[in-house]
Amino acid sequence: MTDLSHEQIQSCIQSDQIVLFMKGTRKQPQCGFSATVIGILDKLTPNYTTINVLEDAKIRDGIKSFSNWPTIPQLYINQEFMGGCDIVKQMFNTGDLHRALGVEVPERISPIIHLSDEAAEMIKEATREQPEMAVHLSIDASWDHQFNLSRSAGHEIVATANGVEILMDLDSAQRANGLKIELTETLQGTGFNINNPNAPPPVYQITPSELKATMDSGEQYYLFDVRDEQEREKSKIVGAIVLNEAAMQTIESVPKDTKLIFYCHSGPRSQGAAEHFRLRGYTNVHNLAGGIDAWSQQVDPTVPRY
């Protein structure tokens, strides 16, 4: 059984220049580590093969013995085993992954960060208690900002702000230029107020009447229906496009500032779809507040409610 699974794995590895054994699929990773590696690869290349180990127990168990590596995901480039999530992250931050893929290594430029006196003193106080630790800042693809104290790995990009050294990975550094960090008081206590000028604009909430005005104005826009087929059979907004694979390709083909509007029954599902495209760089993304139910009540009562 092991020999057969290893033959199958070898065949998978030989099928493409870049092969990732992961949990889930490229569009729907089933674990955070797999999602992290997918996010890194997507930044560097559009073309690679993924193998969902959850679909085949023989491959899921066999890849661990084949690579002599206990965890998943596992990345192969040109039939050579690169490693798991932590190693892929490290290779990305040092530029080794770019070089392995034949991609230009970005400049390691320290971003300019503005740190208020109060925020700087709070960080310095924390480091005085743990002098062996360094201050790390991560900014993920969702533009969430996280500070933590941990030892330096040696490959981070260092920015100095108001006497504080802040260590970042390559991705975070590219998102951090112009960052403004101050202290703020909340119900939970004192915390950081972070203003990042690089973050994409939020998803705008468009009212039914504003959508109607857009439709009547002749302005270019795309209206996407994210509901399932059964819901669409009950009611729909004329002119809306079903959000399917073809629609996704349409979105990928238009300029990033194209007006994109999403709707569902009452708003939450379309908000999620809108956030998905916002985080991919689209800057004019809207969610229909209240969904088609609000549209029926406020604009077009001929649209059935359900």
Q: What pLDDT shows up at residue 186?
A: 80
First to last CA, the chain: 53
CA distance 33 to 84: 9
What domains sit in the chain, N to C, each tagged with a CATH number? Answer: 2-101 (3.40.30.10), 113-195 (2.60.300.12), 204-298 (3.40.250.10)
The residues, any chain, with a CB within 8 Å of residue 184's CB and separated by 6 or more, are 190, 191, 192, 193
pLDDT tens digits along 150-183: 999 888 999 999 999 999 999 899 999 999 999 9
Residue-wise pLDDT tens digits, 75-88: 999 999 999 999 99
pLDDT digits (tens, 9 = 90+) for 85-99: 999 999 999 999 999
Q: Would you say 53 and 59 are in contact if contact means Cβ atoms under 8 Å apart?
A: yes
For residues 290 and 13, what is the distance between their CA atoms, to the nearest angstrom? Answer: 48
Q: HSE on the CB side for 120, CA within 13 Å?
A: 12
- Do the Cβ atoms of 288 and 208 come closer than 8 Å? yes
Greater confidence (187 vs 107) lies with 107
Runs of H (alpha helix) within the chain? 2-13, 32-44, 57-67, 85-94, 96-101, 117-129, 170-175, 208-217, 229-234, 245-253, 268-278, 291-298
Question: Is this prediction's pTM over 0.75?
Answer: no
How far apart CA 243 and CA 270 sit, in angstroms, is 10
pLDDT band at 3 (very low <50, low <70, confident <90, very high): low
Element (H, E) at 113: strand 113-115
260-263 and 241-242 beta bridge pairing: unpaired
Q: Residues 235-276: pLDDT tens digits?
A: 999 999 999 999 999 999 999 999 999 999 999 999 999 999
What span, in angstroms and rounded, lies between the C-alpha atoms of 226 and 245?
12
Q: Name residues whose C-beta falls within 8 Å of residue 47's C-beta, 6 or more positions apart in sequence.
A: 16, 17, 18
pLDDT reported for residue 27: 83
By C-alpha distance, which of 68, 11, 71, 79 is closest to 36?
71
Distances (CA, A) of 15 to 74, 129, 202: 15, 52, 40
pLDDT value of residue 9: 93
- What is the arithmetic mean of pLDDT over 48-68? 93
Taking only the tens place, the pLDDT of each residue in 116-125 is 999 999 999 9
Rounded to an integer, what distance in angstroms lies between the CA atom of residue 291 and that of residue 118?
Answer: 43
Handedness of CA 23, 26, 28, 32 (dihedral sign): positive
The rounded percent of the chain whose pLDDT value lies above 90 is 85
Rounded CA-CA distance 32/22 in Å is 10
The confidence score (pLDDT) of residue 1 equals 44
Looking at residue 187, what is its pLDDT? 79
**What is the distance between the alpha carbons of residues 205 and 175, in angstroms, rounded to a whole number?**
25
pLDDT in tens, 187-238: 788 889 999 999 989 999 999 999 999 999 989 999 999 999 999 999 999 9
Q: Can you give the pLDDT at residue 2?
A: 54
Higher confidence at residue 7 or residue 286?
286
